[in-house]
């Protein structure tokens, strides 16, 4: 009360202090993304209500997302290999081959593409860094010390900046709405992404096709620095298809 006397007022009927109309946070900046992330975690069953700092949860719903079945034992083995700098032998089902294959991989990170969980790993079979879907690792049967260094994964440690703006064929009013949606300034927003995840980021944002491929109201945003981004993609050492 002495530090911020206008923040809390006493409600006689409720017999407790409540937020005042002139409330101003003193110890942290309001962050909508933190609130919405916690709301989603509670609504999706990831976080229990009693563990949330949201006192009164509003009604909430989200578009359904297909469940990607990740075996807990698989995740434990992958995370353990990352922590211990180990290679593990996995039985992996890729769409590029009709039958699953055993291969040695050296995982060094976990990644999420917006829908599926991957491990970023060096594939000793193909001698290249790739993304392996955790749900497609069918079995693990061995582990040994890894001789590779995560620092050599240039695509993981390199960043690409996507400059996006409203679709040029939108009306001025529509363009302003899109600018608000994406927090654009001076008609564009900058989004940083690891080069290893660039393919997924473009696909999720609908920027993996030419702007004229879809109607402006469906496309909404365009990639302003497309030539630069495509050039960075071509520099990439490549990754295994996971569609």
The pLDDT of residue 67: 62
Instruction: Say what the pTM is.
Output: 0.78
What SS3 state is found at 142? strand
- Rounded-to-integer distance, Cα 5 and Cα 174, Å: 43
- Tell me how far apart the alpha carbons of residues 243 and 113 are, in angstroms, rounded to a whole number: 12
For position 93, what pLDDT does the model report? 94
pLDDT of residue 213: 87
Provide the pLDDT for residue 210: 86
Q: What is the pLDDT of residues 60-84, one digit of tens each?
A: 887 777 666 789 999 999 999 999 9
At residue 60, the pLDDT reads: 83
The total number of residues written for the chain in this structure: 243
DSSP secondary structure letters along 51-69: G-S-SSPPP----------
**What does pLDDT average to in each consecutive run of 10 residues of the chain (243 residues)?**
84 87 80 86 82 82 74 95 97 91 97 92 94 95 94 95 95 95 93 94 91 90 92 66 40
Q: b/e string for 143-182 if b means 16 or more Cβ within 10 A?
A: eeebebebeebebbeeebebbbbbbeebeeeebeebbeeb
């Amino acid at each position: 009360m002495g530090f911020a006397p206008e923040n809390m007022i006493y409600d006689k009927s409720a017999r407790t202090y409540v937020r005042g109309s002139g409330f101003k946070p003193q110890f942290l900046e309001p962050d909508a993304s933190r609130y919405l992330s916690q709301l989603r975690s509670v609504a999706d069953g990831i976080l229990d209500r009693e563990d949330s700092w949201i006192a009164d949860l509003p009604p909430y719903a989200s578009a359904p997302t297909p469940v990607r079945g990740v075996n807990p034992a698989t995740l434990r083995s992958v995370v353990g290999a990352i922590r211990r700098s180990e290679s593990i032998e996995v039985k992996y089902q890729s769409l590029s081959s009709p039958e699953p294959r055993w291969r040695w991989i050296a995982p060094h990170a976990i990644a999420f593409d917006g829908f599926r969980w991957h491990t970023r790993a060096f594939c000793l079979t193909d001698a290249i860094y790739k993304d392996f879907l955790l749900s497609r690792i069918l079995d693990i049967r061995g582990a040994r010390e890894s001789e590779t260094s995560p620092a050599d994964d240039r695509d993981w440690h390199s960043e690409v900046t996507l400059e996006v703006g409203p679709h040029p064929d939108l009306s001025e009013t529509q363009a302003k709405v899109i600018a608000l949606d994406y927090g654009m300034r001076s008609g564009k927003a900058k989004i940083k992404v690891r080069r290893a995840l660039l393919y997924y980021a473009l696909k999720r944002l609908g920027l993996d096709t030419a702007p004229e491929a879809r109607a402006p109201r469906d496309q909404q945003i365009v990639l302003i620095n497309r030539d630069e981004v495509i050039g960075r993609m071509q520099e990439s050492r490549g990754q295994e298809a996971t569609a």
